[in-house]
């Protein structure tokens, strides 16, 4: 007599039991819910893989359909010049989002809005299923946009990449800027530096301000002092914002730093694009970065810093992952998984040590 073999479909309850969590937690973990820890997500995914779990059907018994297939998604650049959008940090986040949208079967449309006061008609007339937006983080974007444009943004599922402008609604996904400042302070003090400096030609940049403040707090907690060399702008900013490409933007700041009676032995820059200019400014003053003064920066924009010598220590913001997570969060909004309060998702950064973190010289140069 032959025994009859029966196959039983693995359910989310089976996965939850194996992972030691509730079915609801297991379901959210498999969707990458931002409020579920990475350790829990890994444990649930391991259980699902071990049981060969495949969520092929929804609760009504119908086969699942990928939620973004055929959806029209606008990828909006708001208040920034095209050259600023092409900076590696921004471009990497956009590429991550485009890859995720393409894999999900969505139809992305890139829309450039250099002047927030005059959005293109396509953005106001075409019906989109969701919007991914990257906005200028200098100047008051919220005041610049009109009521009609604001209603377009607020009537769609909306996720901001790399920072949400003050006064505007929507979820946001970006690097953990507080952690970046803390990591930089820890790396420099661990190398023996106790007199630090910040060089930032964009003091009104919201993201840079968070990194700078966290760096100052982290340095103080570790017994170091910080001198700030920043450029401030008294008049309102015009849109679109452009990147800083000229060394003259940082030269006066670096020269002021070098005139200090007791010169700082290390510099923190809030972005690699600034650090590259600081290298040039130091060289023009006859100071060797990484030998006479340490430098650390943020973002890991390899195409900008690959030619710097000595190699620049930087903090990887994982921008491609930012773009991917922005798409995942937009999907949650479109499918109705999230309602109400805005969500902020932060990606954990990673230090990439390099020669520019040179230990403090035994006798700092006096002025």
Q: How confident is the model over 313-358, as pLDDT tens digits?
A: 999 999 999 999 999 999 989 988 766 788 999 999 999 999 999 8
Q: What are phi and psi of 8, to 5 degrees?
A: -115, 130
Ordered DSSP codes for 153-183: HHTSEEEEES-PPTT--SEEEEE-HHHHHHH
Cα within 13 Å of Cα(294), Cβ side: 29
- Given a cut of 50, is residue 365 above it in pLDDT? no
Cα–Cα distance for residue pair 254/267, rounded to 1 Å: 10
Could you tell me if 15 and 53 are in contact, meaning their C-beta atoms sit under 8 angstroms apart?
Answer: yes
DSSP states along 289-321: BTTTBEEEEEE--HHHHTT-SSPPEEEE--HHH
Q: What is the pTM of this model?
A: 0.80
- List the domains of the chain with CATH numbers: 12-50 (no CATH), 72-175+319-348 (3.40.50.2300), 177-317+351-357 (3.40.50.2300)
What is the spatial distance between Cα 345 and Cα 176, in angstroms, rounded to a whole number? Answer: 8
What's the pLDDT at 361?
A: 53
Phi-psi label, residue 165: left if phi above 0, alpha if psi -120 to 50, beta otherwise: beta
Grade residue 21 by pLDDT with cuts at 50, 70 and 90.
Answer: confident
Q: How many angstroms separate the CA atoms of 253 and 199, rounded?
A: 7
Please tell me the distance from the alpha carbon of residue 240 to that of residue 166, in angstroms, as a whole number: 17
At 82-141, the pLDDT tens digits run 888 889 999 999 999 999 999 999 999 999 999 988 888 877 778 899 999 999 998 888
Q: Which residues contact 160 (CB under 8 A, 6 or more apart)?
A: 133, 134, 135, 168, 170, 171, 172, 173, 174, 326
pLDDT at position 51 over 90: no
Residue range 221-233, pLDDT digits in tens: 999 999 999 987 6
329 CB contacts (<8 Å, ≥6 apart)?
34, 159, 171, 173, 338, 343, 345
Q: pLDDT tier at 235 (50, 70, 90 boundaries)?
A: low
Distance CA 73, CA 286 (A): 50
pLDDT at 50: 84
Q: Please tell me whether residue 60 adopts helix, strand or coil conformation.
A: coil
Q: Tens digit of pLDDT for each residue in 168-223?
A: 999 999 999 999 999 999 999 999 999 999 999 998 899 999 999 999 999 999 99
**Percent above pLDDT 90 for the chain:** 61
Range among 71-80, 134-143, 145-154 with highest mean pLDDT value: 71-80
Average of per-residue pLDDT values in the chain: 88
Please give the share of the chain, as a percent, with pLDDT higher than 70. Answer: 89
Q: What is the pLDDT of residue 366?
A: 43
């Amino acid at each position: 007599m032959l025994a009859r073999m029966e196959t039983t479909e693995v359910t989310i309850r089976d996965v939850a039991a194996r992972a030691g969590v509730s079915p609801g937690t297991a379901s959210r973990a498999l969707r990458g819910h931002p409020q579920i820890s990475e350790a829990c997500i890994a444990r649930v995914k391991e259980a699902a893989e071990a049981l060969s779990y495949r969520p092929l059907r929804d609760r009504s018994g119908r086969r699942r359909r990928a939620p973004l297939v055929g959806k029209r998604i606008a990828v909006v650049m708001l208040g920034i010049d095209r050259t600023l959008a092409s900076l590696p940090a921004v471009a990497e986040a956009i590429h991550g989002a485009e890859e995720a949208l393409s894999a999900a079967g969505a139809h992305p449309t890139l829309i450039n809005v250099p002047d927030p006061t005059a959005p293109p008609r396509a953005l106001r007339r075409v019906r989109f299923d969701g919007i991914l937006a990257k906005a200028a983080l200098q100047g008051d974007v919220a005041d610049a946009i009109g009521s009609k444009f604001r209603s377009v943004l607020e009537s769609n599922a909306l996720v901001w990449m790399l920072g949400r402008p003050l006064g505007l609604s929507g979820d946001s996904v970006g690097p953990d800027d507080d952690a970046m400042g803390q990591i930089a302070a820890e790396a420099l003090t661990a190398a023996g530096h106790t007199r630090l400096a910040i060089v930032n030609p964009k003091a009104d940049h919201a993201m840079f301000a968070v990194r700078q403040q966290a760096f100052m707090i982290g340095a103080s907690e570790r017994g170091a002092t910080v001198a700030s060399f920043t450029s401030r702008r008294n008049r309102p900013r015009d849109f679109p914002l452009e990147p800083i490409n000229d060394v003259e933007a940082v030269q006066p700041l670096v020269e002021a730093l070098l005139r200090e009676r007791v010169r700082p032995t290390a510099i923190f820059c809030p972005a690699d694009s600034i650090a590259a200019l600081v290298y040039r400014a130091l060289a023009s003053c006859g100071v060797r970065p990484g030998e006479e003064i340490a430098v650390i920066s943020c973002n890991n924009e390899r195409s900008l810093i690959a030619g710097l010598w000595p190699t620049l220590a930087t903090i990887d913001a994982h921008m491609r992952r930012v773009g991917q997570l922005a798409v995942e969060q937009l999907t949650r909004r479109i499918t109705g998984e999230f309602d109400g309060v805005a969500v902020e998702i932060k990606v954990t950064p990673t230090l990439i040590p390099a020669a520019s973190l040179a230990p403090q010289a035994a006798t700092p140069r006096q002025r």
